[in-house]
Chain A
Amino acid sequence: MTADPSPLAPTSLSPRLKALAPALGVLIALFLSSIVIALSGVNPLEAYQTFMAGAFGGSRQITETLLKATPILIIALGLTIAFQARVWNIGAEGQYHIGALLAGTVALVQPDLPAPIMMLAMVLAGLGGGLLWSLIAGLLQLKRGVNLIIGTLMLNYIGILLVQYVARVPLRDPNGFLPETARFAATAQLPRLFGTRLHIGVLLALLLVPLTYLLLWRTPLGFRLRAVGNGPTVARSVGIWPHRHRLIALLISGSLAGLAGMIEISYTYLRLRPNISDGYGFTGILVALLGQLSPIGTLIAAVLFSALVVGAQALNVTLQVPVAVAGVLQALLVLGVLAGNAIAKR
């Protein structure tokens, strides 16, 4: 409301109750979802059981959940950094696509690179693609005053369509029936972990959790990013330049989204084609917010969201509940937790 940041809201809840508020939000979300599930003619308890079993019931299910969580987690960690600096990058979906596009192009144009060099080149192309795409939005804002939310949002569509175009026209597989490129060489596939279906990208994503924490809370750069996010005028008066640091935060989040695109393209799809994302870039926004902009919270939220999708598939197969129910549950969860937090802040 004013320049005054002091919280003048009534503090009527006890601290212990406050810590529980997000959990309470989850419970309320589950309750409301039960109604939706019951409306589709299924016993909610049975549905939740199937759901849990589908997402965590065995090593196959857990693997599936982790695989699905990986791109979401990488994107959401990048957005955690951006949002900590109050940089509203909602263009992760586009950055993801351009990362995938550049990495895929490398794999298709230089199929004979030896494995380690191929991987390195693809990782760099993925990071670079995401960086480039976010840089465009950043420069549009800095030089032309284009609102970052609008800029990044619009670039999403261009990024998605660009992948479709490249897959259909210049790099289309002349021998295939579908509008997609040829399959990548084996050297362009992410190495698996010890004979499981998990790949090295999962490990990387998990490693990025502590790294993000360290960056934000243990490095001078992270200190500056948070300073710019929490008090831009104060930051400026102690010599921390908001524009520069907002751009840095944007580029970090863009690069990570591009990396997520590279990982998906060199594991799940192994070629460029339309539909190479399950809306990961948008889910990442929700996950970062749900995770309260903390890396650990983001990890939990990413696994939760992925479990929702995986569990919903099981639900669909076993009990014929529409997959859209998972979407409803996701949305309710986000609202529930955010509302819980809003109450806790009072």
Chain B
Amino acid sequence: MIDITKRFPGVVANQGVNFAVQGGEIHGLLGENGAGKTTLMNILCGLYRPDQGQIQLQGRPVQFHRPADAIAAGIGMVHQHFQLVERFTVAENLVLGERKQLWRDNPKRLHQRLRQLASRYGLDLDPAMPVWQLSVGQQQRVEILKALYRQARVLILDEPTAVLTPQETQGLIATLQQLAAQGTSIIFISHKLNEVLAVCDRITVLRDGQTMGTVAAADCDTHRLAEMMVGREVDFTRPERASRDRPEPRLRLEAVSVQGHHQRPALDAISLTVHSGEIVGIAGVDGNGQRELEEVIVGLRPPNQGTIHSQGTLAHIPSDRYTMGLIGAFSVTENLLLRDYRYPPFQRRGMLRPKVMAQQAMTLVNDYLVRTPSVQTPSRQLSGGNAQKVVIARELSRQPQVILAAQPTRGLDVGAIDYVHAQLMAQRDAGAAILLISTELDEILRLCDRIAVLYEGQIVGWANAATANVNHLGLMMAGKHPPETLSIPMAHDR
């Protein structure tokens, strides 16, 4: 990709970007939220046309007018936000757009073939499952499989590991290395610097839509990368924990069960209490009941059994910002005030006050470092990370007593993650009770006071953050009970 420029109203997303990938290479693409990574890749896969610049494939200039052109040229992209038909099964999603395949294969044979393809790359999937029943992590595996199924020679992965657990990430990396060894070029976008360093051969860094340079992973470290990304040194120090006084229970779940699909309970007698001034972590592999736990706590889904008590304002940072957090057609302002629009000062004598609303939005945008052309911009035009910051700004700015944070830093760059972590801890110190659902073990260990491990809808064990053993947690997350933790089930939960 040579000298690519792409403008959107109010922003230059890419400005004279140069980017080259070699055959069989895993190439990292780094940059802060809104740096232009997704835009650049959308140009490569034929979704956007560049305002300037040229794409060359094996030395020959090519032009993609539509995604089908790019697919035909062997470019497959796994988007940051998935492109799946929820009502369709995994198999139907894969063969979508290839009618003749659907004709020829009967479902049984197709499923058989897909199952083989999936297991060849270590992607555990049931082709007959409808997509809406899958967890975010599983949906992503469908996307990867879709690209592989279409025989992509250049595979673009936009923040693929954001939704994966360490084990799943290991599996993905193995898959990618296997593919690269066979000659597939892989473009790997991530905000996790360690991961990028471990996986990639070379790394290109974008900042404010411009190329900051391409470096070999071998002669680089996280500090150097962070500096290239933000233009200054980044502080990686661990935050200090403030002492807390007189905790009182704020959120209490008693034997909560939720029916899932296939007769199996999605949540099985979950009991837990979160006190003021503490952060309780729910660790676990995605798809073990996290989504149901989240929905049942915020009241989107009634429990089949058990009770939930919550005291005071509840803030909810949803795991899926697009179906639960943001209205794409609404402006940044409207999204930031999605809960508070009807209270003074935003409303007076029954009328909304756009100026006051915009002012508040501007304050929050500045405080939470949301990069947007204006507060009037529809939220669907924000980059993934900036959209997430809008949700966080809205929820945390309301001085909540209880915070349910599900994957709160998914898709955020290092600086933003630091900021959100600091915010969560500040809220905790101010007395909020926080339940953190995260598939990031690092995040859980960094923030939480107590940790529960969720496996197949059950809490299979509790750990104290100070004494937690990463290996034991990992084992529990995989459904294996290490002997020490078996003996202390609910005792911690008093």
Interface residues of A (CB under 8 A from B): 1-12, 15, 214, 217-220, 223, 226-227, 230-231, 233-239
CB of B402 to closest CB in A, whole Å: 15
Q: How far is the CA of A47 from the CA of B334 in the complex (A)?
A: 48
Contacts of A238 in B (CB 8 A): 338-339
Beyond A11-B8, A226-B330, A237-B324, is A6–B380 a contact (Cβ under 8 Å)? yes
Contacts of B338 in A (CB 8 A): 227, 234, 238
Beyond A4-B322, A5-B380, A227-B338, is A236–B330 a contact (Cβ under 8 Å)? no
Interface residue? B491 (CB, 8 A): no
Interface residue? B121 (CB, 8 A): no
Interface residue? B59 (CB, 8 A): no
Q: Are A3 and B322 in contact (CB under 8 A)?
A: yes
Which residues of chain B from 8 to 37 have any CB-CB distance to chain A below 8 Å in the complex? 8-9
Nearest opposing residue in chain A for B379, CB measure: A5
Interface residue? B265 (CB, 8 A): no
Q: Are A237 and B298 in contact (CB under 8 A)?
A: yes
CB of B7 to closest CB in A, whole Å: 9
Contacts of A11 in B (CB 8 A): 8, 48-49
Contacts of A226 in B (CB 8 A): 330
Query: Which among A6, A10, A218, A219 is the interface contact of B328 at CB below 8 angstroms?
Result: A6
Q: How far is the CA of A233 from the CA of B48 in the complex (A)?
A: 29
CB of B19 to closest CB in A, whole Å: 19
Beyond A15-B9, A223-B352, A234-B323, is A5–B328 a contact (Cβ under 8 Å)? yes
27 contacts between A and B (CB under 8 A): A2-B85, A3-B82, A3-B322, A4-B83, A5-B322, A5-B329, A6-B328, A7-B381, A8-B42, A8-B47, A9-B47, A10-B66, A11-B8, A11-B48, A11-B49, A214-B351, A220-B342, A220-B350, A220-B352, A223-B342, A231-B328, A234-B325, A237-B298, A237-B316, A237-B318, A238-B338, A239-B339
Q: Are B327 and A234 in contact (CB under 8 A)?
A: yes
Beyond A234-B338, A237-B318, is A4–B48 a contact (Cβ under 8 Å)? no
B94-125 interface bits toward A, Cβ cutoff 8 Å, 1 = contact, 0 = none? 00000000000000000000000000000000
Contacts of A10 in B (CB 8 A): 46-49, 65-66
Q: Are B342 and A231 in contact (CB under 8 A)?
A: no
Interface residues of B (CB under 8 A from A): 8-9, 42, 46-49, 65-66, 79, 81-86, 298, 300, 316, 318, 320, 322-330, 334, 338-339, 341-342, 347, 350-352, 354, 380-381
Q: Are A220 and B341 in contact (CB under 8 A)?
A: yes
Nearest opposing residue in chain B for A12, CB measure: B49
CB of A3 to closest CB in B, whole Å: 5
Q: Are B326 and A231 in contact (CB under 8 A)?
A: yes
Q: Are A218 and B322 in contact (CB under 8 A)?
A: no
Closest 9 CB pairs of A and B: A5-B328, A231-B327, A4-B81, A220-B342, A230-B329, A3-B323, A237-B324, A6-B380, A8-B47
Q: Are A1 and B83 in contact (CB under 8 A)?
A: yes
CB of B426 to closest CB in A, whole Å: 23
| Max chain A C-beta neighbours (<10 A), residue from B339, B341, B380, B381 | B341
Q: Is the interface of B mostly helix, strand, loop or mixed?
A: loop
Q: How far is the CA of A11 from the CA of B49 in the complex (A)?
A: 7
Q: How far is the CA of A3 from the CA of B341 in the complex (A)?
A: 25
CB of B255 to closest CB in A, whole Å: 24
Q: How far is the CA of A12 from the CA of B42 in the complex (A)?
A: 13
Query: Which among B83, B300, B326 is the interface contact of A2 at CB below 8 angstroms?
Result: B83
Nearest opposing residue in chain A for B66, CB measure: A10
CB of B39 to closest CB in A, whole Å: 10
Contacts of B347 in A (CB 8 A): 220
CB of B363 to closest CB in A, whole Å: 20
Contacts of A217 in B (CB 8 A): 352
Q: How far is the CA of A7 from the CA of B79 in the complex (A)?
A: 12
CB of B96 to closest CB in A, whole Å: 10
Q: Are B42 and A218 in contact (CB under 8 A)?
A: no
Contacts of B316 in A (CB 8 A): 237
Query: Which among A1, A8, A237 is the interface contact of B300 at CB below 8 angstroms?
Result: A237
Query: Which among A2, A15, A220, A234 is the interface contact of B86 at CB below 8 angstroms?
Result: A2
CB of A7 to closest CB in B, whole Å: 6
Besides A7-B381, A230-B327, 6 new A-B residue pairs in contact (Cβ under 8 A), listed by A number: A6-B81, A227-B330, A230-B328, A236-B300, A238-B338, A238-B339
Q: Are B9 and A218 in contact (CB under 8 A)?
A: no
Q: Are A227 and B298 in contact (CB under 8 A)?
A: no
Contacts of A8 in B (CB 8 A): 42, 47, 79, 83
CB of A238 to closest CB in B, whole Å: 5
Nearest opposing residue in chain B for A3, CB measure: B323
Q: Are A233 and B324 in contact (CB under 8 A)?
A: yes
Q: How far is the CA of A200 from the CA of B354 in the complex (A)?
A: 32
Contacts of A239 in B (CB 8 A): 339
Nearest opposing residue in chain B for A220, CB measure: B342
Nearest opposing residue in chain B for A237, CB measure: B324
Contacts of B320 in A (CB 8 A): 3
